[in-house]
Structure 1
Amino acid sequence: MNMALRVLTALALLIDAGVHIHLAPGYQAATPAGIGQGSLFLLESAAAVLAALYVLIRGSRASYAAALAVGLSAFAAVVLYRYVDVPAFGPFPAMFDPVWFFEKSLSAVAEALGSLLAGIGLARLSPKGPAGHPLRSAGQRTS
């Protein structure tokens, strides 16, 4: 079960990364100056690939936390910029895109599913202390 969860979490992140890599050139052309949306897509892709590899290799709480952070932040961004016209700020472009199309929908579903799976993985792995014993809170007595 653990390996299946790791593989599915990584697969969701890799689908997200693939979509962003595919879309990046078209979005960069629309904003050639500054950071550009295409550059942000490539940075998000890199983060998703790294988180996917981390989950596959380690399967630790930290890897699931990284996968959750990447997936949830990407999902929040796609939903935000779909429904809210956030203006450009600093070096970041305005990225309002008020339509759903196949690749965008695929990416959003992969991000949501990856976040859900990473959250499950994180919840399944309880914090462990030395020798695999659960950590005790400061006020607990030992028997």
Structure 2
Amino acid sequence: MGLLLRLLVAAGLAADAIVHWRFAPEMAFVQGGSIDGELLFRVQAAVAGVVAVVILTYATRWAYALAFLVAGSAVGAIVFYYYVDAGAIGPLPAMYEPVWYTEKTISLVGEGVATLAALAGFVTASRAKREDEDARAPEPATRL
């Protein structure tokens, strides 16, 4: 089960990274904020790619928590900016986009799968660690 969760998280984050990297040049024209839309998308792509490698390398609670934060924040952003025209928020540009297209859907599905699988991995990694520690603990001596 652990390998399947790691692959699901990594695949979802990879889809997120690929879509963000491909669309980064188009986001250069987004207005507002002190952070360029292209830079924002490139950073998201890089972070998602790095965390995908981390989750494939280390199946720890911290790795799953990091993956959950990266994927979950991306899901939150895509849904928020679909429904809310918030304009520029602090250093972030105005990212309102009330349309769905194939790449956006792929990104949302990948991020959603990664979020749910990372949450499941976080829960099962702690349980598996406890079971492993219990298995290694010496048996208590019994009196006859």
Which structure 2 residues correspond to residues 53-132 of structure 1 after superposition, within 5 A? Answer: 53-126=53-126, 128=129, 132=133
Structure-2 change in CA distance of 1:33 and 1:69 (3 Å): closer
TM-score normalised by length of structure 1:
0.84
Which of structure 1's runs of 4+ aligned residues deviate more than 4 A?
none
SS at match of 1:125: helix
SS at match of 1:81: helix
Structure 2 portions without partners, runs of 5+: 135-144
- Higher RCO, 1 vs 2 (CA within 8 Å, ≥6 residues apart): 2
Give the match for residue 42 of structure 2: 42
Percent of aligned pairs sharing the same letter: 39
TM-score normalised by length of structure 2:
0.84
Structure 1 portions without partners, runs of 5+: 134-143
Q: How many residue pairs get matched?
A: 133
Structure-2 change in CA distance of 1:31 and 1:6 (3 Å): same
Give the match for residue 11 of structure 1: 11
Q: Which of the two has greater helix per residue?
A: 2
CA RMSD of aligned residues (A): 2.0
The one-letter amino acid paired with 1:55 is I
The one-letter amino acid paired with 1:70 is V
- 2:68 and 2:99 mapped to 1: Cα distance? 25
